[in-house]
Amino acid sequence: MSLSLVAMSHTPLLHRVEVDPQVRAEVDGAFEAVRAFVAEVDPELVITIGPDHYNGFFYDTMPPFCLGLGAYGLGDYGTASGALDVPTDIAEDLARHVQGEDIDLTISRAMGVDHGAVQPLEVIFGQIDTVPTIPVFVNGVAAPFVPMRRIRALGESIGRWAAGRPERILVIASGGLSHDPPVPQWATATPEVRAGLLDGRNPTPQARAAREQRVVDTAHAFAAGTAAILDLNPEWDAQFLRVCREGEVAAFDDYDTDEMAATAGNSSHEVRSWVTAFSALSAVGDYAVELEYYRPIREFIAGFGVMTARTKEITA
């Protein structure tokens, strides 16, 4: 049995903001290489791990992580809406396994997933319902956060489950790396914005358009060097990618929540998706990274990383 992985940043600016043609070609090339990798893996089951940005999860109930027994795209930024093809019985088996390993996993039978989970599925498969897919939400924006060791434990538990399954499984991690997009923070939000962070479900089309335009405007300002957001941190990103590449997943435990936000941006916590996925891989066995792409891309408001990896064949 081997387990395969794709980890990739997401950005709703992908087709909303012009970027240097050389950069566009690089990113398109990385996506093309990911699609070729996945075609070769030919997964029978996908576990997609991603954050949400106050589209599906709000502060009225904010779990550290949640597994979807049923899920649907929320359609923000024009991403796909509608049902994912969640194999509910298999998803429930995974949930029981993780809970049985003393990890208090939240489950949802109707989990709304936003661009964070949907964009990688669209980049890789073109749609969100072509392969049986189990979505796992991992909080990447709403403080306070559980210590990173709990995220590693979640990933390792998922990996131990995957190791016992007959299917060819692909784990997808979405988000990161260093970045500080204008996602509101409870601590500094106005009462009106806090109301949206508490329960901003089903925003009006006007409210959603205004929010998305604000992000696009911030991207243009960031590229022009005039945005008041934390800069990308290529050094931090390089160190994080090194831990992923070298497979010493225990090193993820050293990532301190407050330090991450201060040095890599409030949304750097999205790398918790990567921590989950690489910890799953490491629980199955030694693995090798095959593709690694990275570039700080201000137009996308992201230290933009793409990685593929798979465990080395394990003799049955």
List the catalytic residues.
115, 179
Report the residue from 34, 45, 52, 53 that binds ligand A1EG2 according to the rule CB under 6 A.
53
Interaction mask 245-284, ligand A1EG2, x per CB under 6 A: ----------------------x--x--------------
- Ramachandran region, residue 11 (left: φ > 0; alpha: ψ -120 to 50; beta: rest): beta
Q: How far apart are CA 122 and CA 118, in angstroms?
A: 6
H-run or E-run covering 142: none
* Alpha-carbon distances, residue 210 vs 81, 117, 255 (angstroms): 19, 22, 34
Q: How far apart are CA 199 and CA 58, in angstroms?
A: 6
And the tokens for 64?
């550290």
Closer by beta carbon to ligand A1EG2, 12 or else 56: 12
Report the residue from 10, 97, 152, 269 that binds ligand A1EG2 according to the rule CB under 6 A.
10
Residue 12 binds to ligand A1EG2 (criterion: CB under 6 A): yes
Residue 301 binds to ligand A1EG2 (criterion: CB under 6 A): yes
H-run or E-run covering 139: none
Closer by beta carbon to ligand A1EG2, 3 or else 66: 66
Enumerate residues 210-229 that contact ligand A1EG2 by CB under 6 A.
215
Please provide residue 142's backbone torsions phi and psi, each rounded to the nearest 5 degrees.
-110, 100
* Alpha-carbon distances, residue 236 vs 240, 296, 309 (angstroms): 6, 11, 21
Strands 65-68 and 106-108 turn out to be parallel
SS3 230: coil
Q: Within a 10 A sphere around the Cβ of 187, how many other Cβ atoms?
A: 7
Enumerate residues 172-191 that contact ligand A1EG2 by CB under 6 A.
175, 179, 181, 183
In the complex, minimum distance from the CB of residue 75 to ligand A1EG2, in angstroms, rounded to a whole number = 13
Interaction mask 111-150, ligand A1EG2, x per CB under 6 A: -----x----------------------------------
Under 8 Å CB-to-CB from 195, ≥6 apart: which residues?
none
Interaction mask 15-44, ligand A1EG2, x per CB under 6 A: ------------------------------
In the complex, minimum distance from the CB of residue 156 to ligand A1EG2, in angstroms, rounded to a whole number = 25
Contacts to ligand A1EG2 by CB under 6 A: 10-12, 53, 116, 175, 179, 181, 183, 215, 267, 270, 301-302
